[in-house]
Amino acid sequence: MRPEPPRRIADYSPLAFPAVMLTVFFVVPFGIMVMVSFFRRQQGGFYTPDFVLESYARFLSTFFGGVLSFSLGLAACVALICVIVGFPFTYELARAKRWVQVSWLVALLSVLSLSEVIIGFAWSTLLSRTAGISNLLVWLGMMDKPVALTPNFGAVLTGMVYQAFPYTVLVLYPAMARLDPTLMEAARTLGSHPLKAFLTVVVPALRNTIVATFIMVFVFALGSYLLPQLLGRPQHWTLSVLITDQAVYQSNMPFAAAMAVFLVLVTLSLVGLALLVGRKDAAT
């Protein structure tokens, strides 16, 4: 059933449409952004076409270095938690009855339909002192008086994991569903404890899927800019928040573009690094 490999130029024609779309809607805008990042900022005005490095120079400071590392660390935490929770969850889900699977997937898809704004406001209410879950704990007698559970790092993390979790499951699900059940059966027949079999058979078998999922959630979380504002303190603001500030409120497009380019480059190199490590592992 293997399709014929393309031989003539015409065989590549189905690729033309996506290629044009990708060029028009991704490559060109990105190119414009790179271009603007070198323009000269006119304080109190806008910018003039030029080739200067001042926006990049401004970014290279310990302050922005700190914000960048925080953003990367936060995204990595979100991705890690999502994969650690999502992996066993999806494994069980893929083995559950049909109607159980469908109800879970519908629930998760409905979370996807919520905007970041709604998720942010919902969690800030849930974690608030006046209307939040701590009131429930007080009512149950587990706490003396209600407390505010936001804003802090935990609240930001909770909101972002909540938002990214459906993606995690949706990316893991197809691979899980295709996983050969006889692998587990063989391990069990040979006397392995279910947990051990899961960790030593299922996890290594899906290593590439795990890496791919981690990277996807990581990149997704890196772009988050609303939840850190709604659920965090200023020290939890990500680089995306500062990019928005520059672009929308300071109309400093060159600086905003430079920060965005930097973020994209760092992301791409981290993703490349992860893939490279993954390939080396696979080769040995």
Partner 1 sequence: MTDNAKTGIGKTAVTRRTVLAGAAVGTALLSMPSIVRAQDKSLKVGVYGGYFQESFDQHIFPDFTAATGIEVQSISEPTGEAWLVQLSQAAKAKQAPADVSMMSQVAMLKGQAIDLWQPLDPAKIPNVKNLLPQFVNKYPDGRIAGIGAVSWYITLVTNTDVYPEAPTSWTALWDPANKDKLGLLALVSNSFLLEVTAKTFFGGANKLDTEDGILEVMQKLAELKPNVRLWYRDEAQFEQALKSGEIPMGQYYHDVTGLAAADGNPVRSTFPKEGGILDSGCWAISSASTKSAEAHVFIDYMSQPKIQATLSRNVGTAPTVARSVTDLTDDEFASVSSDIAPIIPRYDLYQTKSDWLNQKWTELIVAG
Residues in contact with partner 1 by the rule CB under 8 A:
41-46, 58, 63, 67, 121, 124, 128-131, 148, 151, 229-230, 233-235, 237, 242, 245-246, 248-253, 255
Q: Using the minimum distance from each CB to partner 1, give the nearer residue, 72 or 230.
A: 230
Alpha helices in the chain (DSSP H): 16-22, 28-37, 54-59, 62-95, 98-112, 116-126, 133-139, 153-178, 181-189, 194-197, 203-205, 207-222, 227-231, 239-244, 253-283
Work out how close the CB of 263 gets to partner 1 at its nearest, in angstroms, rounded to a whole number.
17
Work out how close the CB of 273 gets to partner 1 at its nearest, in angstroms, rounded to a whole number.
28
CA 26 to CA 220: how far, in whole Å?
17
Residues 238/221, Cβ–Cβ less than 8 Å: no
Q: Using the minimum distance from each CB to partner 1, give the nearer residue, 217 or 242.
A: 242
Q: Using the minimum distance from each CB to partner 1, give the nearer residue, 71 or 213.
A: 71
Burial letters for 56-67: b for 16+ Cβ neighbours within 10 Å, e otherwise? bebbeeeeeeeb
Work out how close the CB of 246 gets to partner 1 at its nearest, in angstroms, rounded to a whole number.
8
Residues constituting the chain: 284
- Radius of gyration for the alpha carbons in the chain, expressed in angstroms and rounded: 23
Q: Using the minimum distance from each CB to partner 1, give the nearer residue, 61 or 200.
A: 61
Q: Using the minimum distance from each CB to partner 1, give the nearer residue, 124 or 267.
A: 124
Work out how close the CB of 70 gets to partner 1 at its nearest, in angstroms, rounded to a whole number.
10
Contact partners, residue 159, CB within 8 Å, separation at least 6: 119, 120, 123, 227, 230, 231
Residues 117/227, Cβ–Cβ less than 8 Å: no
Closest alpha carbon to 167 in 203, 218, 121, 208: 218
Work out how close the CB of 98 gets to partner 1 at its nearest, in angstroms, rounded to a whole number.
42
Q: Using the minimum distance from each CB to partner 1, give the nearer residue, 5 or 45.
A: 45
CA 44 to CA 46: how far, in whole Å?
7
Work out how close the CB of 165 gets to partner 1 at its nearest, in angstroms, rounded to a whole number.
24
Q: Using the minimum distance from each CB to partner 1, give the nearer residue, 118 or 177.
A: 118
Work out how close the CB of 160 gets to partner 1 at its nearest, in angstroms, rounded to a whole number.
17
Residue showing tokens 């899906």: 206
Residue showing tokens 């027949």: 189
